[in-house]
Amino acid sequence: METPANAELADRKDVHYDCPNGHVLTFPFSTEADVPLSWECSCGALALLRDGDRSEIKDQKVQRSHWDMLLERRSIPELEELLDERLELLRAGRIG
């Protein structure tokens, strides 16, 4: 049984099964449904439940750091330039 709180967040979730022959099966399951661990692919092979889809998305959100947001606004060359400027200032300060 899912908690009521979970059911309110999302009624359905996409569940993926990876077939050993490279097929990916996707089904929308109710969050309250018992998701089978495997599914017979149309090619006859047994596709296995891909676990952690939700946690992956969650992790990406969590791991979205200041650095990621900085990268969206500035390219690497720009960042390197900024770093160089900082280093120049540091060196200048020490020498001065």
Interaction site with Zn ion (CB under 5 A) = 19, 21, 23, 41, 43, 45
Residue nearer to Zn ion on the CB measure, 21 or 55: 21
Question: Minimum CB separation from Zn ion for residue 36, in Å?
Answer: 16
CA atoms of 10 and 16, how far apart (whole Å): 17
Residue nearer to Zn ion on the CB measure, 46 or 69: 46
Question: Minimum CB separation from Zn ion for residue 18, in Å?
Answer: 9
CA atoms of 14 and 79, how far apart (whole Å): 38
CA atoms of 93 and 27, how far apart (whole Å): 61
What token pair was written down for 19?
């077939």
Residue nearer to Zn ion on the CB measure, 6 or 26: 26
Question: Minimum CB separation from Zn ion for residue 48, in Å?
Answer: 11
What token pair was written down for 21?
């022959």
